Structure 1
């Protein structure tokens, strides 16, 4: 029996639905993490306990030992009553950012026509990682003259790409980066990232740096960027109810060529 092998290949038009679904799923994964972390945050737990205790006090639901062990369960309904509103409030505050980010991601010019957009520079590429016939992940690196643009398309111009012509920028950007959860423990995301970095720098001498966004809500991406030489450049904003800091990170050509790990050959 032949063991399946891993490979990184270029995007094909037949990947369109899978890619769009994956990009949306990647963003919403951050919402799940944000909700979980917020729910177990000390401040959230303190508010939950305080509100539940007030309800217990007002309704006189404190434990009643005279009823035996069942009497100690008397406060539980109050804690249960406040658990659901607390979780709902956390999601209600967190969700708009991620909903907007999904729409922003899917409306960007590179998603309108992926092959055409990423063919404008030899240092650009949209790559799919597979293990046998299984989809594992994707990464997109944009070295075009629009590499630093954050433009999104409106309904009026969504049928046209709206980007500049051929050419390579000095600064490339990692637009998308995702690996399916079962494969993250193997650290295969490092191979995917290294492949994209090597492709950008090997496409010519123009690209001198690569930018990416690191979110504390997506640990495996943040760790992979750090492990492959990306350094903090500037804060890129706040996210979630507890205002976690999203950062812009960068790896420079000279640093990568001196000490950066080299990608596996696929």
Structure 2
């Protein structure tokens, strides 16, 4: 039994274990929540940006002057007027940031949930003995997951979902809503036939194309439920996955991950484990993306086997 695994009252095991097909729905919900958490984090970083604060103050004072809402010594209620003006000017700024950033994260949510690996987890993460997909189970709920790809770390995986709803998907949703007395399976069958007639499906070669030998690996997914991010869940998951990758095969020499300013808690866990900023990612992988109003940038970080082994020796001694 793993050091991170305990028996719960229902006879199942609380702690870290390999992914099971029955976990798929909970994992997808966790990954989706992780994407949308970045929307809130991006908004907060935009609110606290010095440029935003200067614009907000300038608009507020201009509005106060235009409305003549300066405090009057003989009217005590007037002292609250400037505060109301600051609030009024903050609302449109916050709404503008939310609208702009949502245009990036909502398509990203669909693309992420449609990634080839997330729709064939057991098959994809068994392509290499050093690959793994672990979940953290707590009271029968999945509160964390981590996936390390040691088979195709440099490939940018395709998504079976587009960034927006296409006409066929919209029609499918309408058909399901209108089919009150019809079996959903019948409606789904009709929609699939229609979709097959109107679209051409690109053959997926993710699992069948030849593997190129590599000494690198990549953390493709690392998500922890918001309620447990400050606990040891994140560190335990990361340590467990790293140990599996480095000990299952001597082939992997370096593990890469993407560090984002919108994932500060997970970034701190990576840094504590020994990950350092890297100029490049796995061979063939694209660089970190820029997003948000003020160009927040994702960065590659990596951990070499030598560094990990030295840390293990220190821990044991």
Could you tell me the TM-score, scaled by structure 2's length?
0.75
Partner of residue 246 from structure 1, selected from 293, 298, 311: 298
Q: Which residue of 2 aligns with 1:236?
A: 288
- The yes-or-no answer on 1:223 pairing with 2:275 is no
- CA separation of 1:208 and 1:183: change in aligned 2, threshold 3 A: same
- CA separation of 1:260 and 1:213: change in aligned 2, threshold 3 A: farther
**1:88 Cα offset (Å):** 0.9
- CA separation of 1:162 and 1:197: change in aligned 2, threshold 3 A: same
Cα pair 2:115 2:160 within 8 Å, conserved: no
Partner of residue 128 from structure 1, selected from 135, 144, 152: 135
Farther-moved stretch of structure 1 (50-59 vs 234-243): 234-243
- The yes-or-no answer on 1:198 pairing with 2:257 is no
Q: Which residue of 2 aligns with 1:62?
A: 70
CA deviation vs aligned residue, 1:67-103 (integer Å, no higher than 9, x gap): 2x21212233432221110101112232233223223
Q: How many residues align?
A: 261
How far apart in 2 are the matches of 1:11 and 1:220?
Answer: 23
- CA separation of 1:158 and 1:138: change in aligned 2, threshold 3 A: farther
- The yes-or-no answer on 1:90 pairing with 2:134 is no
Cα pair 2:130 2:150 within 8 Å, conserved: yes
Cα pair 1:198 1:262 within 8 Å, conserved: no
**1:236 Cα offset (Å):** 1.7
Cα pair 2:8 2:14 within 8 Å, conserved: no
- The yes-or-no answer on 1:35 pairing with 2:43 is yes
Cα pair 2:34 2:223 within 8 Å, conserved: yes
- CA separation of 1:95 and 1:261: change in aligned 2, threshold 3 A: farther
Cα pair 2:290 2:298 within 8 Å, conserved: yes
Partner of residue 162 from structure 1, selected from 206, 209, 213: 206
**1:168 Cα offset (Å):** 5.8
How far apart in 1 are the matches of 2:25 and 2:33?
Answer: 12
Q: Which residue of 2 aligns with 1:75?
A: 82
Cα pair 1:194 1:262 within 8 Å, conserved: no
Unaligned 5+ segments in structure 2 are: 1-6, 162-199, 280-286
- The yes-or-no answer on 1:46 pairing with 2:91 is no
Cα pair 1:211 1:250 within 8 Å, conserved: yes
- Backbone CA RMSD of aligned residues: 2.5
Cα pair 2:149 2:217 within 8 Å, conserved: yes
Q: Which residue of 1 aligns with 2:119?
A: 112
**1:250 Cα offset (Å):** 0.7
